[in-house]
Amino acid sequence: MLLAIDVGNTNSVFALYDGADWVAQWRISTDAARTADDYAVWFKQLCEMHGMEFDKISGCIVSTVVPQAIFNFRNFAKRYLKVEAMFVGEPNTDLGVPIRISRPEQAGADRLVNAVGAHKAYEGALIVIDSGTATTFDIVGPDGGFEGGIISPGINLSMRALHDAAAQLPRIAIQKPERVIGGDTLGAMQSGVFWGYVGLIDGLVRRIKDEYGKPMRVVATGGVASLFEGSSDTIDIYDFDLTIRGLLEIYTRNASSK
């Protein structure tokens, strides 16, 4: 089995692929101080709970936007899985797609993995929206090339900032309000957060398409993307396994070349 790990700023996803399908997927909060031993205890228990054999894992690929976590993930794979983890972004890992930005080394591993996964699944030019700690809009050319994009604060981050900076505004859950015009403080905040982000998404997608000048499809992924299903006018496809499929594609490409 292959273990694919996507390490985000807020959560990390561990997904197992048995050669035919994704058989399990778990999340844990990201903590750069968490040790290889911590990951091993947590992950082994989950495998056993789901009837999976820990020692059947023969490969591991990691995408991380938290550089401080690399050491512990590398140790986790080496000491407990008995494999050398493949890391997206390292010089010896071939993504198989061109990176067409002025500073390629600054492109986040998660954004590159999404580009690979999107190009594998869908034809033509694409806008990939990933809703996480940040909301990213990435442009994928018809040949799979990463052509840049937009980074904006994520919906949870904006909501937290609103609560932290305003003494009288409570912390609220993200949900679609029944009315756009809020009748009280809670309704006003929910509308501002939810419809404000729908407006952000639709407005930026339209501007990207105008600037790009060619037909593009819009693919949404990430932990909170499902909130906007049925509300956004511009998102064509919701694909919540896009990142782990991108990791599988990169791992397969590099494993077959060795």
The C-alpha atoms of residue 137 and residue 139 are separated, in whole angstroms, by: 7
Residue 94 among the catalytic residues: no
pLDDT of residue 235: 95
Query: What digits encode the pLDDT tens for the residues 34-79?
Result: 999 999 999 999 999 988 888 889 999 999 999 999 999 999 999 9
Architecture (CATH level 2) of domain 124-243 = 2-Layer Sandwich (3.30)
Going edge to edge, which strands form the sheet with 134-140?
Answer: 146-153, 134-140, 126-131, 217-221, 237-238
Q: Are the C-beta atoms of residues 52 and 16 closer than 8 Å to each other?
A: yes
Q: Which tokens in the block code for residue 54?
A: 């820990």
Q: Rounded to the nearest 5 degrees, what angle is found at the Cα of 55, between the Cα atoms of 49 and 61?
A: 95
DSSP code at position 79: I
Architecture (CATH level 2) of domain 2-87 = 2-Layer Sandwich (3.30)
User: Taking the domains of the chain in order of start, what are their residue ranges?
Assistant: 2-87, 124-243
Residues of the chain with pLDDT under 70: 163, 165-170, 257-258
The C-alpha atoms of residue 193 and residue 158 are separated, in whole angstroms, by: 8
Number of H helices and E strands in the chain, helices first, is: 6, 10
pLDDT of residue 53: 83
Q: Select which of 110, 130, 138, 239 is catalytic.
A: 110
DSSP code at position 99: B
Same fold, 2-87 and 124-243: yes
pTM over 0.85: yes
pLDDT of residue 117: 96
